[in-house]
Structure formats: C-alpha cells, structure tokens
Amino acid sequence: MIRKAFRVIVRGTVQGVGFRPFIYRLASRLGYSGFVRNIGEGVEIYLEKEDGQLEEFLESLKNEAPPLARIEGVDYQPVEPLGRSGFEIDRSSQEKSFVFISPDIATCQDCLQEIEDPEERRYRYPFTNCTNCGPRYTIVRQLPYDRRQTTMSGFRMCRDCRREYQDPLDRRYHAQPIACPRCGPELSLLEARTGRKLTGGLEQAVRLIRQGKVLAVKGLGGFHLVCLATDQKAIKRLRQIKRRQTKPLALMARDLKTVRKYAQLNPDEKSWLTSPARPIVLLKKKRELPGIAPFIDTVGIMLPYTPLHHLLLKDLPLIVATSSNRKDAPIIKDDSLVSPGLCDYILTHNREIAMRADDSVIKVVNGKPVFLRRARGFVPFPQAVPESLQNPVQILAVGGELKNTISIYKNGYIITSQFLGDLDDYENFRYFEETLNHLKKLFSFRPELVVSDLHPDFWSTRYARNLKIPHLQVQHHFAHSLAPLIEHQLPPGEKFLGVSWDGFGYGDDGQAWGGEFLLADYDGYERYAHFDYVPLPGGDVAAREPWRMALSHLYRAFGENFPCLRPLASIPESRLRPVRLMIERKINSPLTSSAGRLFDAVAYICGLAPARVEYEAEAPSRLEAAASRVRSKRNQGYSFSVRRDSRPYRVDFSQTIDELVLDLKKKVRPELAAWKFHLTLVQLILEMAVLARKEHGLNRVVLTGGVFLNRLLTEQTERVLMKNGFEVLRPVFYSPGDESLSLGQIAYALNRVKKGEL
C-alpha cells in the first residue's frame, strides 16, 4: 500500500479552546500518525497513513470541533511522508501572526456537574472551568495565550491540576485558567463601609441578598450590582444608588422554568438564552415585576454564566444583575473602585480582570438577533473580509462619539472591540484608550491608516487626527450602511439602497442627519432622499426633552396656530414660550432630518413619553411598547408626502402629524395611534425602495441605524420588503446602532486602499 501524507492548516479561533487535544483524539481514532501544533496563523496538522484519504478527517473536523472553536478556513496539501509512528501534540511554533482569542464562555455542563457533585474535588468551587468554558478575553494580557500571560499567572497549579493540564486526553489539557480549591482564586465577602472581611462567603452572601441587601458581585468582565428581583425596597434602593429611576434593570434567572414564569420565550430566544455566549435577551413580559422595566413591554433576562452565578442562583431563583458603574461610566472591574456608597457588601475574588466587558444584550427579530450591545461572549470574534477587499495595510477605525467601539483590520480579518460607551465621558475615553492598547498587544497591531467619523469635534475624530498617520473620514450614515456588507461577505460591485435612520449623524452639508435614504456602494453614496429638515430647538437638549421636538413638528404641520394638546398643556408657559420663539426666530435651533427625534415627537404627542427622558431612546421604546399592544392588520398608516421636485427627495411628515392629532382629538387610543405611526414608516420605506428599483434598478435594501433596534419596525419592514421581492440586509452579529460605525469605516477604507487611492 502507498503511504500518503498531508499538511493541514486550520485558521480561526483554534488556540486555547481544546483544539489540539480534539485533533489528537480524532487522528488517533482514524488511524493517522503525525502531529498537531499551534503556529502563528492557527493550527498545523501533519497526517500520515497507509493509503490515507482526507475526506473523513475533514468532515469530522468540521462536525465535531470543540464548542469554543470557530473555524474560519482550512487549507491542505499532499506532502512527502516523514515515516512518523503514532500521533503527538508538538511544541508550538514561536512565529508571530494574527492569532484569534476565544471570548469568555459560559460554564459547560461537565463543569456544572462537578460543582454539584459532593464527591468531586471541585464541589461548589466558584472558579471551575475547562477548555470548553470559562474566562478568556477578560483574563489575557497579551499573546501567546498561556497561563503566564493571563491574570492566572500568580496561581501555581497543584499536583492534581498539573496532571490534568498535561494530559492530552483530559478536557483540561492546556486549559490556562485551570484551578481548584487547593490552588486557585478564592472568594471574599466584605462589608462595603468598613472593608471588614466576613465569614461564611457564598452562603452568607445569599442570606444577605435574601435580607434585602445590595451586593457588588465580581464576575468575568466587571462587577454586577445584585439584589433580590422580588424585593421592592431593595430595588428602590438600588435605583437610588444608580440614579436610575426608569431605565430597565437586567435580571438573572436560575433556569428556563423561572424565565418562563415572567416572560414569553420562543425557540429562537431560548436558543440564544442558553447559548455559550449567555447574552441578556429582551423578552416579552408575561407578568409585571414592579420596578424592573417600567413603561415598556420587554424585560432583559440572562441565565447564569459562571460557577459563582450558578451557586448564587441555586438558592435565589431571580436576581437583579446590573452593571456596577455610575451613570454613563464604564463597568467597574477593580475592588478599589467599588465605593461604600455603591452597595452594602462586596462579594469579590483575587483573580484580576485584565479587560472589562459588559454583558451582551440582544433581541430576536424574525429569527435573527439584533444586538443592542455586543461585548462579553462575542468579543473578540474575528470578522472575515471578502477576498477582493483584502490588503496588507493595518487599519484602525475609531468609530463615533456615542456607543463607541474600535475596529482593527489585519491579515484579512476585522476585530471589533466590546461596547465602550459614550466618549464625551472622560472615564469612557480612558476605557477607549485602554482597550485600543489591549488590542494592539493581543494582535501585534500597528496601525498604518486611521479612519474616523466626519464630525470634526468628536473625541474619536480628534484622537485620529493626533495619531500623525494617514487619516480618512467617513460620513456617519454611509459607514452605517457599509457595515452589514462586510458582515454578509459582499464584495464591491452592486449598488444598494441604504435606509439609515438614527438620532444624529454629521452630514455633508453640516446639518444633523438621521432619516436617510442613500444610493450607495463601497465607492461612495448619493443622498437619494431624507426626512425634511425641522428645527431642533435648544440643540442637544431636545434629545432629552421630547416635548421640544413635539412642538417643532406641530409648528411645522400647523404653523403658529398649532393645537395645544394635553401633553403640552403640562409644560409651563414660562418654558413653552421661549422654545416657541426659538423655532419662530430660528434661534439656537439647528436643523435636523433625524428619525429618532421624530419618534420622540410622536411619543410625546401621543402622551406616552415624559417631558424629560432619563435614558436614550426611552420615548421611542415607550412608543414601540404601546404599538405592540395593538398589531391590528386592519389599520392603515398615516399619510406623508415625498417631494420629488429636486434631488435629494424630501419626506414631509406634516400630513402624518395632522392626521395623528386628528385621531387623538377623536379619542383614538394612543396605542392605536402608535401602531399606525409604525405602519407609516414601513410604508415609506417600501415606497422609497420601489422608487429606487424603478429609477435605478436596485433590488438590495440595507436597514441600519439605531432606529432599527425597534423590533416592531424592523420585523414589519423586513417582511414587507421581502414580500415585494427585495433582498434585505441588516446587521446580525453586530448592532444596527453606532457600535457598528467602526466596522463600516473599515469597509470604506479597505476599498480605498484596494483601489490604490490611499
């Protein structure tokens, strides 16, 4: 028989995830000799066998890979046989390249069984993990990914852990965070005010939570503030601590039975809730939990994702688990920053957090996720770039001002950071710099080109200018529209209609854009149509006070004799009159085409939003919740007009506001008015898509921007467009909001570099 040999290279997230032991077992089972080792670009496998064929090996490689592995590509070629006997795991190559790191992953079933079994040596041990689960991104300081480069470096393995670590057939083979009660991290329970260490640890923490205390609990990427979800006094106190009166609080439930007690759960939502990433999933409420998510119809719930969480929830079926940070600041990761005023007690441990990361938040729309926040469990998964856009230049994109992320490009892949928050907060800007430095170290990244938003005064733009390397700027909504193209692996060539709706983006004309229809491709865009400009009285303050935009749209629709509806009657004349004069005299009232501000206006006119909101998108969220209670298929939307006398076309909502006011005067329920408003926008998108197909032959529609975090709008628009024969793209593993700007910025830069324009 002829002896055959092959060299196989596997690229992707294949280091630190139990991949080499998997290959060892697979090759041994199939009778191959040879070796497997880590190399700079992934994993190298040498296979040798009498009359050997690769088909069964490659099929098993794809179907049986470890749960944390993410295979991006497999290359193989025949080579000369070396005459190896047996299969071995060889020492890793020292070459440096672009190696991927797994995100932090929820505790696997095998580890759960161990912490629940009194006969196991890791019984009730809160830091149990293996190659299939546990911390990764939040503990690694730099590459290569081994124990000495992580925050586990200070914990010397005991004899039993060392034996598991060195055994290729053990699921803890080269599990860098491996630990046990004898040699690993330890819990501590502290009194917040005095710092005094208490006895009882975990059991005492459970008792304190039951007594109504608020605890700061150290997790994978930072501290949670925790209290009993059914204790109204504790929830009220936690809200006072967070200075958060209406913004929803996240819950952690013991199991699916508990989830179903409080929320509706469909199969797709269940799949995401129980996935290894364990995100917070926004679910329709089944019953109201006072003080948790007021005025909206959804509640954010996650399942336990660390052994510590599982042990806490064993005796506490449902807890509040919200980020421990001051308003708009990054999540706290260090014990020293947990101030006495933040909680009553601190449940912490002595394993340092190298890189903080919030919980990811998603909702499921038409079977696919919509990310409100992409962080723990998903970062730093790589995003492959279409081959036609790949180039050797290393590119940094610094995103926008709000909901910032950083993206880096190197060797055909993009890594996007976790959610970093709003950069107008100094602590978040420091977090931005900290994260960029971390990514540089992890991926040996040295930017040769930087990309930012068009806005000259964003902190991210200023940072980009100061780097003293070639600097490219990309218009906000164009970057939004390009991001899904990269995610869906679409090469340059075909134009599309980008529907990019959000609260604010700096436009080419210096105005505040936000209700945009763009004819676009990778090369550039034309502003095909937009919401007609209306005044933004008071500038940024109008985003926090919806009544101002209500007044602006009413003034636009009715002029000086606009009706004083009941919600406006609650605004004192001493505040109403100056704002009206601002609009009339065009004083401190920049123009905006913002879709987000239109939602604010309609929510307030319908009496569904407060005069001043506490958090971003509070008014639109209340409007969506009201509309979701109706969902009548018999109703038509309101009228609107598209002015086509010149390009770009302009969408005038004066008729919409007129008919909305008429409905409310007729005592039409606000919920029905909200539903009709959503239908109006769905009809508008369809009308513009049909027009673009007629005038330009376009059949692809891309839905982006923060407005498409709205479940109702997204699911209805997607269905209507697909029913009318359109190809619809939207972000799936990235947010439609400003978190994805850095991804779109990279896309534009890649095309410019590939065309030799930079």
- 581-585 long-range contacts (CB < 8 A, ≥24 apart) are 582/535, 582/537, 582/538, 583/535, 583/537, 583/551, 583/552, 583/555, 584/555, 584/560
Instruction: Point out the domain boundary residue: 335, 363, 391.
Output: 363
Residue 23: closest CA among 90, 94, 98: 90
How many domains does one find in the chain? 5
Q: 396 and 257, same structural domain?
A: no
Looking at the domain assignment, is residue 507 inside a domain? Answer: no
Mean pLDDT of all residues in 363-374? 97
Q: 671 and 541, same structural domain?
A: yes
Percentage of the residues of the chain whose pLDDT score is greater than 90: 83
Q: 290 and 206, same structural domain?
A: yes
Q: 395 and 291, same structural domain?
A: no
Q: 452 and 354, same structural domain?
A: no
Q: 194 and 148, same structural domain?
A: no
Instruction: Write b or e for each residue in 547-561: b if 16 or more Cβ atoms lie within 10 A of its Cβ, otherwise e.
Output: bbbbbbbbbbbeeee
Question: pLDDT digit string (tens) for 263-313?
Answer: 999 999 999 999 999 999 999 999 989 999 999 999 999 999 999 999 999
Residue 218: closest CA among 103, 321, 101: 321
Looking at the domain assignment, is residue 619 inside a domain? Answer: yes
Question: pLDDT digit string (tens) for 159-193?
Answer: 999 999 999 889 998 899 999 999 999 999 999 99
Torsion of CA 155, 157, 161, 164, to 10 degrees: 110
- Decide if 288 contacts 230 (C-beta within 8 A): no
Looking at the domain assignment, is residue 576 inside a domain? Answer: yes
Q: Name, in order, each residue with C-beta under 8 angstroms of 371's C-beta and a sequence gap of 6 or more.
A: 360, 361, 362, 378, 731, 733, 734, 735, 736, 739
Q: Count how many residues are written for the chain.
A: 758
Q: 336 and 199, same structural domain?
A: yes
Looking at the domain assignment, is residue 648 inside a domain? Answer: yes
Q: 267 and 200, same structural domain?
A: yes
Looking at the domain assignment, is residue 154 inside a domain? Answer: yes
Confidence tier at 195 by pLDDT (50, 70, 90): very high
Tell me what pLDDT residue 97 has: 58
Catalytic residue among 7, 29, 37, 38: 38
Tell me what pLDDT residue 84 has: 84
Give the tokens for residue 58. Answer: 């490659």
Looking at the domain assignment, is residue 495 inside a domain? Answer: no
Residue 253 lies in domain: 187-363
Question: pLDDT digit string (tens) for 317-338?
Answer: 999 999 998 878 899 999 989 9
Instruction: Point out the domain boundary residue: 162, 184, 206.
Output: 184
Confidence tier at 98 by pLDDT (50, 70, 90): low
Q: Is 38 a catalytic residue?
A: yes
Instruction: Point out the domain boundary residue: 25, 58, 89.
Output: 89
Confidence tier at 1 by pLDDT (50, 70, 90): low
What SS3 string covers 115-139? HHCCCCCCCCCCCCCECCEECCCCC
What is the domain-level CATH number for residue 413? 3.30.420.360
Q: 742 and 713, same structural domain?
A: no
Mean pLDDT of all residues in 418-430? 96
Catalytic residue among 3, 7, 11, 20: 20
What is the domain-level CATH number for residue 329? 3.90.870.10
Confidence tier at 142 by pLDDT (50, 70, 90): confident
Q: Is 690 exposed, middle or buried (0-12, 13-18, 19+ CB in 10 A)?
A: middle
Could you tell me where the beta strands, DSSP code E, fall in 566-648? 591-592, 641-643
Tell me what pLDDT residue 168 has: 85
What SS3 string covers 127-183? CCCECCEECCCCCECCCCCCHHHECCCCCCCCHHHHHHHHCCCCCCCCCCCCCCCCC
Looking at the domain assignment, is residue 374 inside a domain? Answer: no
Give the tokens for residue 556. Answer: 């636009």
Q: 393 and 354, same structural domain?
A: no
Is the pLDDT reported for residue 96 higher than 60? no
Q: 685 and 539, same structural domain?
A: yes
Q: Is 20 a catalytic residue?
A: yes
Q: 711 and 667, same structural domain?
A: yes
Question: pLDDT digit string (tens) for 567-596?
Answer: 888 999 999 999 999 999 999 999 999 999
Tell me what pLDDT residue 409 has: 98
Q: Packing angle between helix 654-665 and helix 670-696, nearest 10 degrees?
A: 160
